[in-house]
Amino acid sequence: EVQLQASGGGLVQAGGSLRLSCAASGFTFDDYAIGWFRQAPGKEREGISCFSSGDNSTYYADSVKGRFTLSSDNAKNTVYLQMSGLEPEDTAVYYCAADEILLGGCQEWFNPKVPNDYWGQGTLVTVSS
């Protein structure tokens, strides 16, 4: 059974940093692209970062490029999102998600109309101005 558990959210001032963690189980990063999306109240889901071992590449949405960094620890089956330079517009619930590589991996990650194969409970990030 695929499970994804995100943690690490909280309240931070604008300009600050947070690191989110996602513990994954039931699959390996060899078979699934792994990453994060977020959803703010009243807005569509926004894919923000995805890593695929299929092409060993990490992708970022333009809105977070240069500020957020995705990393993974394969031994722990854990993925992280280091967020810096946070802005009030980053306030959202952040979800860890996975898409099967053979079915596309990161290809549709940033399409808000296409849901991920799996995602877990989110963690709330609130950035105050």
pLDDT tens-place string over residues 75-122: 999 999 999 999 999 999 999 999 999 999 999 999 999 999 999 999
pLDDT at 8: 98
Chain position carrying tokens 């300009």? 15
pLDDT at 17: 98
Measured between alpha carbons, how far is 36 from 98 in angstroms, rounded to an integer?
8
Do 68 and 82 touch, CB atoms closer than 8 A?
yes
Strand-by-strand arrangement of the 68-73 sheet: 3-7, 18-25, 78-83, 68-73
List pLDDT tens digits, range 17-73.
999 999 999 999 999 999 999 999 999 999 999 999 999 999 999 999 999 999 999
